[in-house]
Amino acid sequence: MKQKRLSTLGILLVFLLAMVIAACGPAVPEGMEDEYEAIMAGEDAHGEDSHDEDSHGAEADSHAGDADAAHEAAATGDLSAIPPISERMPHELADSDYTESDTGLLYYDLVKGTGDSPEDGYIVEVFYAIWVLDEATGEAVVVDDTFAFGQPFSFIVGGQQVFDGWDEGVLGMQVGGSRQLVIPPSLAFGEEGVPNVGIPPNATLVMEVELLDVQAPPVPAALSDSDYEETDTGVKIAVLAEGDGEDEVEAGDRVTVEFAIWVAEGERFFTSSDSAGQPLTYPVGSGAVFPGWDEGTLGMVVGEKRQLFIPSELGLGAQGYGELVPPDSDLLLEVELVDLVKVRKATELDEDDYEVTDSGLKYYDLVEGDGEMPEEGQIVVVHYTGWLEDGTQFDSSLERGVPFEFPVGTGAVISGWDEGVATMKVGGIRQLVIPADLGYGDTGAGSTIPPGATLIFEVELLELK
């Protein structure tokens, strides 16, 4: 299945999948919620807006306004205020047209399919639309519509990636078929709802689902114990395919992988990037995936594929994952390295190399510029990379390929930046060592910059405006 863009609710559902693969929490590490929101809003680690206002501002404002309106409407129960995302409406059916399951799910086959039927553990690809049924008026309000967006969605049946009524509703369908579902709150989002996408508490949902494709769950490569090499921690590694890349994965590198995971005992399929419809990108060693996965990818090159046997304590541990992964389960993971972005390392300098200002800022010119020096309030254009003292990279405009602009000396950035860039010349590259009181102080920034952190930046002054 090809990589796809996802609708609003689709992103929410895939984010639930991301939570599965984390060591002891979500793929966005615990405490990063503020930073995650900043990224979604287009902000840099400085707290600065990185959107191109001319090309994206109006569109972003429109989407933000729709999201805010949907959230407020769902929270208050006034569904009439939710902005419509499409004109699609559910088919008008009589109660007698539906078949009711033992759980209270109602379903009706709009089109009978002729292809394969999914079973528990199968990967399905669907188009869908979701409406909230307004109990007061009887009207249906659309909250998501992949038909309109042309964006199919994939998930594992019974994989706890979608709500129960959806899981149950696709069973018995055949490829090519379409089915309308009426899903009670107990089989959907229950008493909490999902206000940020327009689903209020105790909402009855109506869905139309078209089954596009069905795939049997993947099976891991059959290997013997002699095929593996075991690390000191107990992770076993077997190379299934050699890669052709030059650089090897190290801690801190940003990798993009295709993967599939099974419970080792019985080789029960758990989840995969294919079922999510897209590969996974994460920084190695950041806690984005469980420890055995992190360890097992070290040393890989692009194009390489490995099978990992991961003992439970380096996987999902005593917690497991619902009925799919019992507590203390060993895991099998097959991982293919699709892309690798090497972490940048700060230039190593002796303490005597630095100039120290009265404020405590330390700086060293790696490259002396030969252009003009900025005046207070002037817009500067820079590329930069930032690290913690332990070498952990937390931000880089170079990786995004987009320079950063700000008015120097106006408080638009942390004070260590204002002071450190003010005396640079165009063309120069300077390393800044910024104490916490000139950076993010005792609060830090998300989970990537802890309280009291000293920061290291290398900044290149590209131009003045």
Catalytic residue (choose from 107, 270, 394, 406) = 394
Nearest to 4 by CA among 273, 380, 387, 332: 273
- Judge whether 330 and 309 are in contact, CB under 8 Å: yes
Cα–Cα nearest to 166, from 144, 188, 193: 188
Confirm whether 384 is a catalytic residue: yes
From the list 155, 440, 449, 456, the catalytic residue is 440
CA distances from 217 to 120, 156, 177, 266, 459 (A): 9, 9, 21, 13, 48
Distances (CA, A) of 120 to 154, 160, 180, 324, 441: 14, 11, 20, 11, 51
Annotation marks residue 394 as catalytic: yes
The verdict on whether 457 is a catalytic residue reads yes
Q: Is 370 a catalytic site residue?
A: no
Return the amino acid letter for 35.
E
Q: What is the DSSP letter of 289?
A: S
Point out the catalytic residue in the list 122, 269, 282, 457. 457
395 is catalytic: yes
Question: Which of 259, 269, 309, 384 does the annotation list as catalytic?
Answer: 384
Instruction: Give CA–CA dist 208/127, Å, rounded.
Output: 8
> In this structure, what DSSP letter does residue 386 have?
E
- Identified catalytic residue from 156, 414, 429, 434: 414
Of 167, 253, 395, 418, which residue is the catalytic one? 395
User: Would you give the DSSP letter of residue 342?
Assistant: P
Is the sign of the CA dihedral 440, 443, 448, 453 positive or negative? positive
Residue 227: helix, strand or coil by DSSP? helix
Q: Is 128 a catalytic residue?
A: no
Alpha-carbon torsion (402, 406, 411, 417), positive or negative: positive
Token pair of 391 as six digits: 């070498």
Active-site residue numbers?
384, 394-395, 414, 440, 457
